Amino acid sequence: MATNPGTGSRTGRAARGGVAALSAVLLVAACSGGGGPRAAQEAEESAAPLAATYEGPEVTLQFWNGFTGADGPFMQSLVDEFNTEHDNITVAMESQAWAEYYESVPAAVSTGNGPHIGAMHVDQVATYAARNVLSSVDDVAEVLALEEDAFAPAVWQAGLYDDRRYSVPLDVHPIGFFYNRTLMEQAGLDPENPPQDRESYEAALDAFQEAGIQGHWVSPYAPGARMFESLAKQFGAELYSEDGEQATWDSPEALEALEWMLGLVEEGHSPPDVANPAEAIAFQNGENPFYWGGIWMINTFAPETDLDWGVAPLPVIGEEQAVFAGSHQLVLLERQEWTPDERQASAVFIDWVVDNSLGWAEGGQVPAAAEVRESPEFAALPHVPVFASELEDTFFPPSLPGIAESQTILWTALNEVLLGDRDPQEALEESARAANEALERSREQFATAE
């Protein structure tokens, strides 16, 4: 990683790699739909050198992603800066809503019109690799000397599928604990000392209640699901088996976590039937004092000059810290023909963006690159370093094809429970059974595809 996040220097990584000039094989990847990961591995037999720099003729690369929100301008700024610094590489960025993106990419790849580079959520990488949409980036990781110690271990491992690497981590986006200082003062609490354990958290909620304030609005939608997964792990539950092939959230520990969340509603600390995203809007409007939300909310709350807020790591409500997180990963797409120039230029772009991800951190993300996170420039950013302090305790869904479907099954069940439409234990048990059936279907489907 770059020693100076703004310069993209090669010094630190080259020293670790112990070589002056790096080379690796070039994958000539098969077209989408032909052969899968094993075919991609066999394609290495058609080898050409891949280097850490690009000095070839002018080349244009297509980069697709789903950054249509507040993060979009930050990524576009990085792309523009890269284009300015590289006379012979032009990256054209196209952003679509994520749902549209995940539908359009496979279709474009299958017709030979896909992009060279993409961004994907970590829980989608294995599925799209198994569908022959992604090209392995083992060659890219080798030539750039990318190794686990340059990243957070969990986010690095998340890019592996079938013993091959299909993505390079760009960021980690954990959830954190946002708090309203003004409302804390109104309730007689220390606004500079947000609660960090169960006893102090519940005491703070009681203080809010005595002041006529509902202290923690519980979302039945995605924010609530992320909260549940964090709590379940804190209470000692494992959401999946060690190999990721079985959903195991139908446990007493997970039930205890869900019942604690329900208690916030039943005891009046949260309104019932919180609409989406009413809990965030209420925090923004100074009505909801405690909010467990994603790092990306920083840039939503920051412009609110009348809102006096802070952010802290998640409190430990259970026995040990655990924090749900997502990650954007950079990928290369399968193409009917990867030219050596395109492949090498794409590697240079991925490397440059990771090295210069301080600019991405400003958009509300924790850089995956350790050297960027450990730089003085990153430490000086407002709020974001708080989320970086959670990295040792973050977790991701297993890197398996179809995992997003099982997550959807769980989150739908949680929605029904938190809206009061379903018994918690029944919901956890039935959703785990349904998720295991879905995971089995995925295993059969992708085993056949290979």
Question: What value does the mean pLDDT take over residues 363-367?
Answer: 96
Number of domains in the chain: 2
Predicted pLDDT of residue 450: 54
Residue 273 lies in a domain: yes
Three-state DSSP class for 436?
A: helix
Q: Are 223 and 112 contained in the same domain?
A: no
Predicted pLDDT of residue 46: 46
Three-state DSSP class for 430?
A: helix
Q: Which residues pair with 160 in a beta bridge?
A: 165
**What span, in angstroms and rounded, lies between the C-alpha atoms of 308 and 191?**
10
Q: Which residues of 111-129 are buried (b: 16+ CB within 10 A; e: fewer)?
A: eeebbbbbbbbbbbbbbbb
Predicted pLDDT of residue 434: 98
Q: Are 266 and 277 contained in the same domain?
A: yes
Q: Are 190 and 315 contained in the same domain?
A: yes
Residue-wise DSSP of 56-107? SS-EEEEEEE---STTHHHHHHHHHHHHHH-TTEEEEEEE--HHHHHHHHHH
pLDDT band of residue 159 (cuts 50, 70, 90) is very high
DSSP 217: P
Which residue shows structure tokens 């079938």?
162
Q: Are 86 and 202 contained in the same domain?
A: no
Predicted pLDDT of residue 48: 56
Q: Are 38 and 112 contained in the same domain?
A: yes
pLDDT single digits (tens) 332-341:
999 988 999 9
* Least confident span in 52-56, 160-164, 387-391: 52-56
Provide long-range contacts, Cβ within 8 A and 24+ apart, for 431-438.
Answer: 431/247, 431/249, 431/250, 432/247, 432/248, 432/249, 432/250, 433/250, 434/409, 435/247, 435/405, 435/406, 435/409, 435/410, 436/246, 436/247, 436/406, 438/402, 438/405, 438/406, 438/409
pLDDT band of residue 152 (cuts 50, 70, 90) is confident
Q: Are 65 and 152 contained in the same domain?
A: yes
pLDDT single digits (tens) 286-299:
999 999 999 999 99
59: Cα within 13 Å, side-chain hemisphere: 20
Q: Are 101 and 17 contained in the same domain?
A: yes
Q: Are 132 and 16 contained in the same domain?
A: yes
Report residue 147: phi and psi, to 5°. Answer: -140, 165
* Least confident span in 12-21, 242-251, 289-298, 315-324: 12-21
Q: How much is the mean pLDDT over the chain?
A: 90
pLDDT single digits (tens) 93-137:
999 999 999 999 999 999 999 999 999 999 999 999 999 999 999
Q: Are 442 and 383 contained in the same domain?
A: no
Q: Check pLDDT > 90 for residue 324.
A: yes
Percent of the chain with pLDDT strictly greater than 90: 86
Residues 6+ apart with CB under 8 A from 171: 327, 328, 357, 360, 361, 365, 366, 367, 368
Q: What is the domain range of residue 157?
A: 11-170+327-395
Q: Which tokens belong to 33?
A: 């739909």
Q: Are 222 and 366 contained in the same domain?
A: no
Cβ proximity of 403 and 246 under 8 Å: no
Residue-wise DSSP of 298-342? HHHHTT-TT--EEEEPPPB-SSS--EEEE-EEEEEE--S---HHH
Q: Which of 376, 395, 414 is at the close of a domain?
A: 395
Three-state DSSP class for 137?
A: coil
Q: Which tokens belong to 141?
A: 């990781």
Q: Are 140 and 195 contained in the same domain?
A: no
Which residue shows structure tokens 């297509």?
62
What CATH number does residue 444 fall under? 3.40.190.10
Question: What value does the mean pLDDT take over residues 348-370?
Answer: 97
Q: Which of 371, 395, 419 is at the close of a domain?
A: 395
pLDDT single digits (tens) 15-56:
333 322 222 322 223 233 334 444 444 444 444 557 789 999
By CB neighbour count within 10 A (0-12 exposed, 13-18 middle, 19+ buried), where does 372 fall?
buried
Question: What value does the mean pLDDT take over residues 391-396?
Answer: 96
Residues 6+ apart with CB under 8 A from 289: 179, 180, 183, 184, 187, 208, 213, 215, 216, 283
**What span, in angstroms and rounded, lies between the C-alpha atoms of 232 and 242?**
16
**What span, in angstroms and rounded, lies between the C-alpha atoms of 91 and 337?**
18
Q: Are 270 and 150 contained in the same domain?
A: no
Q: Check pLDDT > 90 for residue 342.
A: yes
